[in-house]
Chains A and B, each alone.
Chain A
Amino acid sequence: LAKTTQPISMDSYEGQEVNITCSHNNIATNDYITWYQQFPSQGPRFIIQGYKTKVTNEVASLFIPADRKSSTLSLPRVSLSDTAVYYCLVGDNNAGNMLTFGGGTRLMVKP
């Protein structure tokens, strides 16, 4: 399984755009990139998934360069409620759903 590296923590302010980058140098051809969000005292929650280029949904955007060795989760205009841990996961979408979580990035949004 491809190992991922993310910043341990990030600080931001309300209304700003937050970009969290994840490195996955050993990503395999069949691997997808998936991001989960976890609030305190809750289980992880799926945010977005992509394979290449750009994916956007109502919550976030995911930017993946051509070499796919990294990806960036972009959260537009964050609010205090976006304070959470964000996990980047990489793996084969068709090889079962065993998720491998790393340390995640702890995002703190300040007023």
Chain B
Amino acid sequence: EAGVTQFPSHSVIEKGQTVTLRCDPISGHDNLYWYRRVMGKEIKFLLHFVKESKQDESGMPNNRFLAERTGGTYSTLKVQPAELEDSGVYFCASSLYRDRGSANFGPGTRLLVL
């Protein structure tokens, strides 16, 4: 079974530019999550999709972040315009069930905003 994949693995952009991160969950997983770790901080929850619907987006930092999951398969997280403080690692996770032990994380996308 293929795991959660994320693209790109690394991204370096300048402040003010736009970046789109992609996550492909494990096939059949209705639950998809985005998390991030900004420099020196803890891993923080961003949002949760159930299929194509946003179940919980309480962790989204501001309106520069837009997550979509059209068709309930892969998801994208767009940052527009990117700011310096957005630098960090963005993790995607997926799960079949909603219990706390079933989240399968991807390797993350390392974003550096200069």
Contact = CB atoms under 8 A, between A and B. Distances in A.
Contacts, number: 69
Interface size range of chain A in the complex: 20 to 34
A103 B85 CA distance: 19
B102 interface: yes
Interface stretch (A9-17, A73-81, A86-94): A86-94
Contacts of B88: none
Interface string A24-53: 000000001010000001111110110000
Interface residues of B, number: 26
A interface, over-half SS = loop
B31 A97 contact: yes
Given A42-B108, A43-B106, A46-B103, A97 B91 contact: no
B99 interface: yes
Contacts of B104: 46
Contact of B100 (A45, A91, A102, A103): A91
A43 B4 contact: yes
Nearest to A39: B107
B22 interface: no
A97 B108 contact: no
Given A43-B4, A43-B93, A44-B43, A99 B100 contact: yes
Q: Which of B44, B100, B103, B107 has the most CB atoms of chain A within a 10 A radius of its CB?
A: B100
Contact of A97 (B43, B48, B107): B48
Nearest to A97: B98
A94 B98 CA distance: 7
Interface in B87-105: 91, 93, 95, 98-105
B74 interface: no
Given A97-B48, A98-B45, A43 B98 contact: no
B42 A102 contact: yes
Nearest to A41: B107
A100 interface: yes
A65 to B, nearest CB: 20
